[in-house]
A and B are shown apart, each in its own frame.
Chain A
């Protein structure tokens, strides 16, 4: 009790004191402390004033009567006796109005898929760049700035179309798992800007498209692009889908 008197009283003690929620001993200790501590007395007065303000608030006027119509028997749920429903009641009702809880994870997943798709696309572009400049092109250093920007965008879609074109005959004629024969019949690409335009239209392939499988080969740039593009489209579709549902 003596230690109590040199420490200031907590808000919880003061608040409980106001409501007479303290035990006899606690109460006596608080009274002793309050006699000697001006700060705690004023804190108690503050709390008392706050409670007085709250108690002085008038009851809001009822906008209408909330009685139920007589034909509401269908609302009754035949719940089992002893079932603890009231705590759950509000949440079940709220869940009917709330958008489905799956939406958020779906959005996150879609974003992730789109980001991974972009990553694949970007990495395929990066791996393609040195390949096209060193391996197959007598490229001039002065020209590098312009073509790099072009394959970044058109090359992606061109390769996409191209792999689609090349893949079909392979899927039907050749057995999967033969990357070398796939490379041989394709003519060596011409690395000029006109060739880029051609490849954009999907007529002449620019680089060797090894994927001979229905599943894209991740070790090659076109395979990476295909996966990346598909993931990106899936992610964007997912995002559009969840957004539309949310606003509805």
Chain B
């Protein structure tokens, strides 16, 4: 099953390399959800994430000839996308005024009383549900954005996108050891962030101890 998909993907890549836009569009359809998701988790803003994702696909199409068939296309694509997202993040950090208007509605979600109320309401309606409500998602998103870029990319690719350590290493052009360390530090930092907001987490996600 996976082999068939892989063969099909290789064919699409080869055709794309020969200039077939339709073949490349099929690849986009295969990977746009993952690509957008990575970029969105990196920058935390839907409109910006959409622009960056579009840029990433254009850049990937422009340079598809340099892709070596047989290596991970997903890692290659996510490398382009996450690099663009990092570039955007650094620019926004340097010129905070330009991105002020992008913060707006997301900051409003962080009123603590609203958060607890909503989490409790969610638990009452479906206590077994593991789906996270909007506010909790926003809290985790905020925690991700507190991470340094290298750790953020590694954690997003590994824990959200489910890439293997090898693929993360390929996507970030680093060694396995570095990937291992970045993922560990990113998780730890996120854990610390979430434990500072422990009371806001639904019961099944509460971190049992605070070792500080």
What is the interface of chain A, defined by CB distance below 8 A to chain B?
10-12, 14-16, 19, 21, 39, 42-43, 45-47, 49-60, 62-70, 72-73, 75-79, 81-87, 89-91, 93-94, 97-98
Contacts and interface: CB of A to CB of B under 8 A. Distances in A.
A14 B191 contact: no
Given A79-B65, A90-B83, A50 B187 contact: yes
Q: Which of A16, A50, A79, A89 is most buried by chain B, counting CB atoms within 10 A of its CB?
A: A50
Nearest to B63: A85
Interface string B190-211: 1100110000010001111101
B184 interface: yes
B45 to A, nearest CB: 11
A15 B168 CA distance: 15
Interface stretch (B1-9, B52-60, B117-125): B52-60
Contacts of A11: 184-185, 187-188
Contacts of B60: 86, 89
Sort chain B's interface into a size bin: 35 or more
A67 B27 CA distance: 9
A62 B36 contact: yes
A55 B159 contact: yes
B87 A86 contact: no
Interface string B84-117: 1011100100000000000000000000000000
Given A42-B211, A68-B25, A77-B63, A89 B80 contact: yes
A60 B36 contact: yes
B184 A14 contact: yes
B180 A63 contact: no
A54 B66 contact: no
Contact of A93 (B32, B76, B84): B84
Contacts of A63: 36, 46-47, 50
B181 A12 contact: yes
Given A57-B137, A87-B79, A93-B55, A68 B131 contact: no
Nearest to A63: B50
A54 B159 contact: yes
A222 B166 CA distance: 70
Q: Which of A11, A46, A98 has the most CB of B within 10 A?
A: A46
Query: What are the nearest 10 A-B pairs in CB distance?
Result: A15-B184, A90-B83, A54-B159, A94-B87, A12-B184, A85-B66, A67-B25, A85-B63, A50-B191, A90-B84
B17 to A, nearest CB: 10
A77 B59 CA distance: 10
B19 interface: yes
Nearest to B90: A94
B67 to A, nearest CB: 7
Contacts of B29: 65, 67
Contacts of B56: 90
Contacts of B140: 53-54, 57
Contacts of B76: 86
Given A43-B211, A52-B205, A86-B63, A94 B191 contact: no
A82 B65 CA distance: 8
A239 B79 CA distance: 38
Given A66-B54, A67-B32, A90-B87, 16 more contacts: A16-B184, A46-B191, A47-B187, A49-B208, A50-B190, A51-B187, A54-B160, A66-B35, A67-B29, A75-B61, A76-B61, A82-B68, A86-B67, A90-B59, A91-B87, A93-B55
B208 A42 contact: yes
Contacts of B63: 77, 79, 85-86, 89
